[in-house]
A and B are shown apart, each in its own frame.
Chain A
């Protein structure tokens, strides 16, 4: 919402400075986004007179001018094709900052001729994009006067960002009212000059009938015909007002409607009455109907839209945009001026559907003052009569003013209790009254506050507290520390949340970099990672690459690794702890810690052998995360059944009972190829929600450490088994041979090759025995060894390697 300082002063009698006004506006919740003070910016530019213009001796396209600046005559070199002797234009002396080109003028010598300033184009002054020639001013422009003052640009333009609730401030009057309430001046009555809304007596009945067929969409529609108008350009004061806020002056009638829109937040429409066929009907649109709007575009309407029609068809969309067929032109002699009320929800829906952002829609969808419909029409009538002449008919009124009156019970003590400010009652009532509220004290000491028609945003007591606080100033609310219960802070995280932090920091400590990637990805990629539930396809994706919720974090990380490889970092190690989605329910969102390692696990180094990443890197990462998350890693069962995006022979699943806690492995080469990423890539996914929470039994104490007094004994065994036998089966069988004595089983060698027959392999394990009550004898150890061999043989068919 833009307005000029002088426009504000049409409504507000004030001595406040521009700075005071803008600061107070912001503190009232009318945030000032910018102040354009063109007079300040253009202070150095003056009206100049080109006295002589001669061809440059050394350049065909340049001229050497003598410019009278009002105080002196200066030689200026100029390249504009329209520069000629006798013309008046805008002169900038040496040292002037040119806003349009962001340069500061220096004295120059152009092809040997001295130049002491510049004659300017509109673009150089940021007046328009026009740069084909220099500005030409009328002959009567007074030489030497500041150009900004001459051109009516002396008025600072204030730009306010309106919150959607403040429909009343979509007009200058509402803004003035807030400032007056805040003590920055006096609101002028609606009787003065331009503001005069006193009803005009019509001299004849309105010949145009108005019928409302859709009272829900348009409860009230008033208007009148004014005959015999002359619709030329509007006067300079009106053109300047509109131009200052970026509106193009069109004609007096149209300019008046724009003026009322910005002045009073009262959109109006003017019809060329001669072009309205029959009468005016406010009705629902009909399928198949179209009209050409004032923006020269054709729109198809439908039954959800409110159209303003005549007896032959739609003329325009009520409250959004008028139609070209009945638009006012210079030829218009009889004008019908309309003021109406439209349903904000329907206005918003229609505007959104058709993509029309008009000043009228902006106001109607926020809600215009339901009590000021007639008032707006009468003010417009007075302006039309004053600027265009003519003879007014009696008003025509269809529908009725909706019942907007309401009273809100207000306990002044709430300002202290909710707002935290101790404000005397009279200060509160003064503010509310200044905002237009009616106040009546009830018997119980509360106030009954009647809400003004222009404040459709005020519904309850909290709204009134805000009004009082806002006008009094949020600055005046004393900051109060938020005391917590207890001196020592309680943990903010639950144990489940804490393990997410642990998982994240564990992975970073293991050398992976944490990434945060989109929760969505392309459906084509998602298909490679298990596909998505139909309920997780975005109806309005921002791009085709981001059209479904991700079923896994891996594809994003793999692609990120690919992008890093393209930048020359082939050995990327990335992880992300975030959501993956199975279905649209809250339970269908899993918290997953996923990671990828690419290229070499051990880079080339003078003392190390380079080694590509493999499944065991991913398995180690997955186990580390599980460990950090508190999963009982010793009880996990490893299966070789990871999903299809993993390498079928180099991947696995970690389960606790039936629950899948993690998947890991090398990524499937076909998937990598589809993603355009060079392998190998090893990845893992840990499902943090599936990790059972560690229950604290009886407090924080750990189980008592029981140390044996006897030395542990280590014995090695090598078994020959079929090549397909998992090492884990051998180790588990060995461990099961004596659960009390065997503390640990490790696999330290796996061999296939000469000495081992084809299809078989040798697996060497190291078994640690921990006696608890006595030192083991050779016989004991031999006996356990026999049991281990027997157990492994039974479980795997393997034999002890000789």
Chain B
């Protein structure tokens, strides 16, 4: 009898199609009115020996059925979950919700790189206005009135001020040198990135562009330091450890001696590559600050000296990032900005790297 019951109950358990049916089987077998419970109740009428023997057999049966129900329950749970998961299946190839990502303009990124490098050399960042007067843009920088070097600047002019000052858009960032020297006592170590303006518009000129000016004034900085500073800068900026630099004598009214600086490159096959390849590419102008400029700014030229340099930010950005056309910097073409721009968290730092 127990064997037949056991077989019957185990079959019912294993064939229970869902949790509700299984519960019914449990109640029918092990519930208060269940069949095993019923058999247990009958034990009272048996002799002690029979009771012990029968009781043990019934307990074993009860445990076995209970275990079978638990096992079936786990099985049915798993099947139920599997069915639910199957029903919840989605198309993971669908595109994600839109999360627009903006870009930093190459000019801003380049300025941040300049700042990161020059900070390592102890420079601070100085700024000045775009609308300048003749004094700060030319006279204080040792451009004599009527000097042909003034013509070479293609200056944009604005109406004179009421007190007769000639106003213009700064043609270089050098007026920031003047403003800094007139307001700060040496030692001075600044870079001044900013907008500059010249009345010229063609393949390689835009009426507005950016320059960065550098100025170091103290009692001992000489032309060797100028070379050291610019060599270190160019190698760090262009990420070429052995980048050669060539200093050529040149002329700027505000420096003496003056130099133009070329970096090594190759133009083989129409492709420009920076490095020690034997060819040269001009990238910046520099020199020792002219004593007349120091004096015009109220600095004793018999005691203080130093260097200044200036370079085009678009130019070095074009060289570094392979951007072919200057004019595209100012067109705000989203295709260009997305392609040449930088992700906002890519903040240049000497510790993390300047360039990804």
Contact = CB atoms under 8 A, between A and B. Distances in A.
Contacts of A541: 156
B222 A417 contact: yes
B170 to A, nearest CB: 11
B161 A535 contact: yes
Interface residues of B, number: 94
Nearest to A602: B98
A563 B334 CA distance: 10
Interface in A392-439: 416-421
A513 B337 contact: yes
Given A482-B228, A535-B167, A602-B98, A494 B125 contact: yes
Given A536-B158, A540-B199, A606-B94, A163 B222 contact: no
Interface in B254-308: 256-260, 288, 290-292, 305
A443 B232 CA distance: 42
Interface size class of A (residues with CB under 8 A): 35 or more
A589 interface: yes
Contacts of A549: 130-131, 158
Interface stretch (A372-380, A503-511, A700-708): A503-511
Interface string A474-485: 110111111011
A480 B291 contact: no
A640 interface: no
Contact of B288 (A418, A421, A485): A418
A448 interface: no
A466 B248 contact: no
A574 B227 contact: no
Contact of A31 (B115, B224, B260, B332): B260
A27 B249 contact: yes
Interface stretch (B5-13, B29-37, B58-66, B144-152): B144-152
Given A462-B290, A515-B337, A501 B159 contact: no
B16 interface: no
Given A420-B223, A479-B227, A589-B130, A470 B146 contact: no
Label chain B's interface by main secondary structure. mixed
Given A477-B247, A589-B131, A513 B338 contact: yes
Contacts of A416: 222
B161 A420 contact: no
B105 interface: yes
Contact of B158 (A513, A518, A538): A538
A114 interface: no
B129 interface: yes
Given A418-B222, A538-B158, A567 B335 contact: yes
Contact of A490 (B119, B146, B334, B337): B119
Contact of B112 (A501, A513, A515): A501
B320 interface: no
B316 to A, nearest CB: 15
Contacts of B55: none
Contact of B130 (A31, A352, A519): A519
Which residue among B122, B231, B332 has the maximum number of chain A CB atoms within 10 Å of its CB?
B332
Contact of A535 (B95, B127, B159): B159
B287 to A, nearest CB: 8
Interface stretch (A197-205, A579-587, A648-656): A579-587
A164 B147 contact: yes
A477 B250 contact: no
Which residue among A26, A492, A549, A557 has the maximum number of chain B CB atoms within 10 Å of its CB?
A492
A417 to B, nearest CB: 6
Contacts of A534: 159
B74 interface: no
Interface in B201-238: 201, 207-208, 216, 220-225, 227-229, 231-232
Given A27-B248, A163-B250, A504 B223 contact: no
B131 A420 contact: no
A466 B329 contact: no
A517 B115 contact: no
5 contacts: A418-B288, A505-B345, A514-B105, A549-B131, A556-B332
Given A512-B100, A584-B167, A606-B94, 15 more contacts: A416-B222, A417-B222, A480-B225, A482-B216, A484-B189, A494-B124, A509-B101, A511-B102, A519-B130, A520-B207, A539-B158, A567-B335, A572-B334, A584-B161, A585-B131
Interface of B: 94-95, 97-105, 107-108, 112, 115-116, 118-125, 127-131, 145-149, 151-152, 156-159, 161, 167, 169, 189, 191, 195, 197, 199-201, 207-208, 216, 220-225, 227-229, 231-232, 246-251, 256-260, 288, 290-292, 305, 329-335, 337-338, 341, 343-345, 347
